Structure 1
Amino acid sequence: MPGVRWLAIPLLSLTLGAQAAPAPLPELLDAMAQRLAVADRVARSKYDTGKPVLDEVRERQVLDRVAQAAPGADVSSATAQTFFAAQIEANKLVQYGLLDAWRRGERPLPAATTELAALRTQLNELQTRLLGGLAATGGLRATADCPTQLDRALAVHFAAARPDDLHRLALVRALGDFCTLPR
């Protein structure tokens, strides 16, 4: 049965390939956590320069940029803006929390600072990954068990990443109303 062997190899490859593909929700959570990690360095930069956390002009630029990029990622502009507004709020939560902890001496001040422009470049690069994750989870958001799946994925993420309370809360904030976002 030589023909059966030729059929089995492609099927095995497809099965293995499907198992190797990353799951969209954990990938999205990872990208969101990476964005929050950049918030730590943004906070340090703002600590050094005295710049305020609130930057409405920058926020508007980010939301306008995502609205333009969203259709290319198969996400509605409104959904992308709602999602990224939650990312911005979570990022500010981390910044305010760290700035407060540093001023009070409750956390050690990180040794190095990074230029804010370089950090914004990193945030812009994460935008593509986040939009892709948002698109990839569109089907999940449409299901009735989205909250349950999200809770499970968060539990796994938190167990693996072991974030502090501030970053844990910020990630929950970054999810906003994730399961109610339309495609």
Structure 2
Amino acid sequence: MKSFFHAHARRVAVLCAGLFLACPAVHASSDESALTSLIALVSQRLTLAEPLARLEWANRGARSQSASPSVATRQHEAQLFAEVEKQAKASGVDPVFAHTFFQDQIDANRGLRQALFDTWRNLPPGAAPEPASSASIQNRLDRFTPLMILALSRLQDLRTAADCPSRIAQSLTGWKSLTRDDSRYTTALNQALSHICETGGVGALG
């Protein structure tokens, strides 16, 4: 079944290439380019919510479908946070901030999957999404970890700046105007970026 997320993933890939944001590589020489680079990475990581949701839908069955984490998922998240804090320290990033940022990524991805489940429950019989392969999804998610840590390390000054919220909002508005995403995706993107500034808060993003 073709979906908005397939088209979105293609648009993000094109934008990354066009902006020289070599996803998965990150190049940034200023706060603005570092911020755009981080938004591109966050956006691309969110595109994996759809294949992951399809896999979960097939494995669990429609009636019991929920994005709530399984025991195995919680174990993997614990391993992820341990690795995040290790890489953050090595890169000069506050490990508490890094932990919060990656928790936002997990929560945003989970919320997006739940929105998909809610949509799929209303599909007619035989129109359920085809399952995705589990072989590469987790590996693809994990590849974003060092790239995002690197991007965060380049935003240290921006995080404490008085105009951080407005600069985040401006960059995010510009990105959304290029990707033309629906409300489910933009809500997830806001959530994923809600604690970049020390003042935090989704409201700061507009």
Does TM-score exceed 0.5, indicating one fold? Answer: yes
Shift of 1:148: 0.6
Matches within 5 A, 1:30-179: 30-50=40-60, 53=67, 54=69, 55-105=73-123, 109-111=128-130, 113-115=132-134, 117-179=135-197
1:38 shift after superposition: 0.7
1:34 & 1:80 partners in 2: Cα distance? 18
Say whether the 8 Å CA contact 2:158–2:164 is kept in structure 1. Answer: yes
Identity within the alignment, %: 27
Conserved in 2, the CA contact under 8 Å of 1:35 and 1:126? yes
Q: Does 1:180 align with 2:173?
A: no
Choose 1 or 2 for highest CA Rg: 1
Pick one of 8, 19, 26 that aligns with 2:36.
26
SS in 1 for 2:48: helix
1:179 alignment partner, SS class = coil
Tell me the CA shift for residue 109 of structure 1: 4.9
What secondary structure, in the 3-state scheme, does the structure 2 residue paired with 1:104 have?
coil
Quickly say closer, same or farther: Cα 1:121–1:105, change in 2 above 3 A. Answer: same
Quick one: which amino acid aligns to residue 45 of structure 1? L
- The runs of at least 4 consecutive aligned structure 1 residues that moved more than 6 Å come to none
Provide structure 2 residue ranges, at least 5 long, that are not aligned to the other structure: 1-27, 201-206
Relative contact order: is structure 1 or structure 2 higher (C-alpha 8 Å, sep ≥ 6)? 1
Paired AA for residue 143 in structure 1: A
Question: For the residues of structure 1 that align with 2:54 and 2:187, how far apart are their CA atoms?
Answer: 19
Aligned residue for 1:180, secondary structure, equals coil
CA distance in 2, matches of 1:112, 1:57: 23
Contact 1:79 1:181 in 2 (8 A): no
The alignment's TM-score, normalised by the length of structure 2, stands at 0.72
Using the alignment, how far apart are the partners of 1:90 and 1:60 within structure 2? 17
Aligned residues: 161
The answer on whether the counterparts of 2:164 and 2:197 sit within 8 Å (CA) in structure 1 is yes
Given that 2:57 and 2:131 are in contact with CA atoms closer than 8 Å, whether structure 1 keeps it comes out as: no
Structure 1: segments with no counterpart, 5+ residues = 1-19
Q: Distance in 2 between matches of 1:81 and 1:181?
A: 16
RMSD: 2.2
SS of residue matched to 2:132:
coil
Q: Is the 8 A contact 1:71 1:77 kept in 2?
A: yes
Q: Which amino acid aligns with 1:113?
A: A
173-182 vs 81-90, greater mean Cα deviation? 173-182
